[in-house]
Amino acid sequence: MEVTVGVVVRVVTLTVPELGNRCYLAHDGSRALVVDPPRDLALVERAAELAGVEIAAVADTHVHHDYVSGALALARRHGADYLLSADERVEFERVGVRHGDLVPVGGLEVRVLATPGHTRHHQSFLVCGGERPGALFSGGGLLHGSVGRTDLVHPRLALDLARAQWGSARLLGDLDPRTALHPTHGFGSFCASATGNDDTQDGDTVTIGDETSRNPAYSTDRDRYARDLVAGYGPVPAYFPHLDPLNRAGAGRAEPRPARPATAEEVADAILRGSWVVDVRGHDEFADGHLAGSVSVEYSAQFATYVGWLVPWQDDIVLLTDSPRLLQPALRDLARIGIDGVGTHVLPRETPLAATYRRATWADFRSPTADQRVVVDVRQRDEWEDGHLPGAVHVPVHDVEVVAASLPAGELWVHCRSGYRAGIAASLLHRLGRAVVQVDDAWEQVAELGIPTTTDHLAA
């Protein structure tokens, strides 16, 4: 997707749904600035080739917590300047920039704006060409309808950084209201705050003027805004704290370690020693038959997020599939968050998959069942608070293994919003020896079928 901003600045948006982020290529038709690239560079280089431009500069708005940056590797590969805040402590050479700096990129001018909040030294980049309004690359600062969360540097700093985030949003709000807004986070990333409602779609043009009319940062006083922002944060994926030091060390400059093929015997040994054997097939296929002791994380845009969240950092992982075509994207997505060198095994057709459990719909839930049925709701806290089944036990999917031993006796009916997270949770509980039923159905069916719900938070 290419959007022309004013007459000179052209912006190519590169959506990375597996990270919940966007990367950008801003160019004048000849030379380009790349903002917040992921580790796999082919995505960016393909876009530059299609646009017929040279990559002249690469910038990170901040040291990322949710993925391994490809900025250093991209800059070195193309002989480009790598722009990063001069105040960040990193173990590699870069062009340190500060608030007010002007960096020429071909016929474009890149103005550096200090926008602390999401991180202490966060910056935004305003790219202009001539007199017309430019394009603002706001990273995790100002998002569509929200801002980046401020608790990732350290929870103790969350409130102070939230106040700084409010000030940064106000600074950006003073730009020409016609300036196009291009955030990195906010499209499914856990780096985004829960506050706000982003209903923008790919191809929509959002301006600073749009944002000042809808973003809570412009309608709330600083201290109240900061308190409300911090109170709305959800959980932090377990792999996030490992990525800041990786990025400060420049880990993205190295190619990911290749996967290692694993034999059937090695898979069996991995299961016996308690390693993570992750089946990337569909969760329906897994329920109908799988290797006992394996875990289901169906390949999707959410795959790496949940593998990174659930598997302890640096634990051995073996990926299982009966379709080799799934391995390449799965390995790519894991490498994006710093997980590489995993094992892979393609299941032959004759492999016995004797372990099974039942799937059900919400219509099945209404049918008479044993009194010992226990409903386990594995959605996030905000989803639970919007409405849940009376008597259900709330256990977010990332906590299932931790609390499994304390769940009531009986058959566990596991559900989420769509069936995806329920598939993960059901496989974890089944691996621990519990009798499970995965509710593989949309939560909206509960209302359509007239199944009672409650918002009684004390039931959690």
Query: Which 8-state DSSP code applies to residue 376?
Result: E
Residue 7: the pLDDT is: 43
Q: How many angstroms separate the Cα of 56 from the Cα of each of 12, 13, 53, 83, 128?
A: 15, 17, 9, 11, 16
Cα angle for residues 38, 319, 283 (degrees, 5° grid):
95
Residue 369: the pLDDT is: 63
Query: Which 8-state DSSP code applies to residue 257?
Result: P
Residue 460: the pLDDT is: 44
Report the number of secondary-structure helices (H) and strands (E) in the chain. Answer: 15, 22
Summarised one tens digit per residue, pLDDT across range 98-137 is 999 999 999 999 999 999 999 999 999 999 987 778 999 9
Residue 48: the pLDDT is: 98
Q: Can you list the domains of the chain with their CATH numbers?
A: 2-248 (3.60.15.10), 256-346 (3.40.250.10), 358-459 (3.40.250.10)
Summarised one tens digit per residue, pLDDT across range 285-324 is 999 999 999 999 999 999 999 999 999 999 999 999 999 9
The mean pLDDT of 315-337, rounded to a whole number, is: 96
pTM of the model: 0.93
Evaluate whether 125 touches 136 at the Cβ level (below 8 Å).
yes
| Residue 219, phi then psi, degrees to nearest 5 | -125, 10
Mean pLDDT score of the chain, rounded to an integer?
93
196 pLDDT exceeds 50? no
> Cα separation of 244 and 238, whole Å?
12
Q: How many angstroms separate the Cα of 54 from the Cα of each of 24, 32, 106?
A: 14, 6, 10
Share in percent of the chain as helix, strand, coil (round to 5): 30, 25, 45
> Cα separation of 286 and 295, whole Å?
9
C-alpha dihedral, 240 to 246 to 250 to 253, nearest 10°: -80
Residue 457: the pLDDT is: 65
- pLDDT band per the 50, 70, 90 thresholds, residue 8: confident
Summarised one tens digit per residue, pLDDT across range 16-31 is 999 999 999 999 999 9
Closest CA to 335 of 237, 238, 239: 239
Instruction: Write the CB contacts of 86 (distance below 8 Å, at least 6 apart in sequence).
Output: 96, 97, 98
> Cα separation of 36 and 27, whole Å?
15
459 pLDDT exceeds 50? no
Cα angle for residues 401, 403, 406 (degrees, 5° grid):
130
Residue 201: the pLDDT is: 58
36 pLDDT exceeds 80? yes
> Cα separation of 293 and 297, whole Å?
13
49: left (phi over 0), alpha (psi -120 to 50) or beta: alpha
Longest CA pairwise span in the chain (Å): 72
> Cα separation of 311 and 295, whole Å?
11
> Cα separation of 10 and 33, whole Å?
10
> Cα separation of 384 and 140, whole Å?
27
Residue 133: the pLDDT is: 85
Evaluate whether 139 touches 61 at the Cβ level (below 8 Å).
yes
Summarised one tens digit per residue, pLDDT across range 233-282 is 999 999 999 999 999 999 999 999 999 999 999 999 999 999 999 999 99
Summarised one tens digit per residue, pLDDT across range 67-76 is 999 999 999 9
Per-residue 3-state assignment (H helix, E strand, C coil) for 58-71:
EECCCCCCCCCCCH
5 pLDDT exceeds 70? no
Spatial strand order of the sheet with 123-128 comes to 102-105, 108-114, 123-128, 135-139, 180-183
Residue 420: the pLDDT is: 97
Both tokens of 407, joined, read 């769940």
Both tokens of 173, joined, read 């709000």
Summarised one tens digit per residue, pLDDT across range 149-162 is 999 999 999 999 99
| Burial grade of 456 (CB within 10 A; 0-12, 13-18, 19 or more) | exposed
> Cα separation of 119 and 125, whole Å?
15
Summarised one tens digit per residue, pLDDT across range 396-416 is 999 999 999 999 999 999 999
372 pLDDT exceeds 90? no
Residues facing residue 175 across a β-bridge: none
| Burial grade of 260 (CB within 10 A; 0-12, 13-18, 19 or more) | exposed
The mean pLDDT of 204-213, rounded to a whole number, is: 93
359 pLDDT exceeds 50? yes
Query: Which 8-state DSSP code applies to residue 292?
Result: T
Evaluate whether 164 touches 174 at the Cβ level (below 8 Å).
no
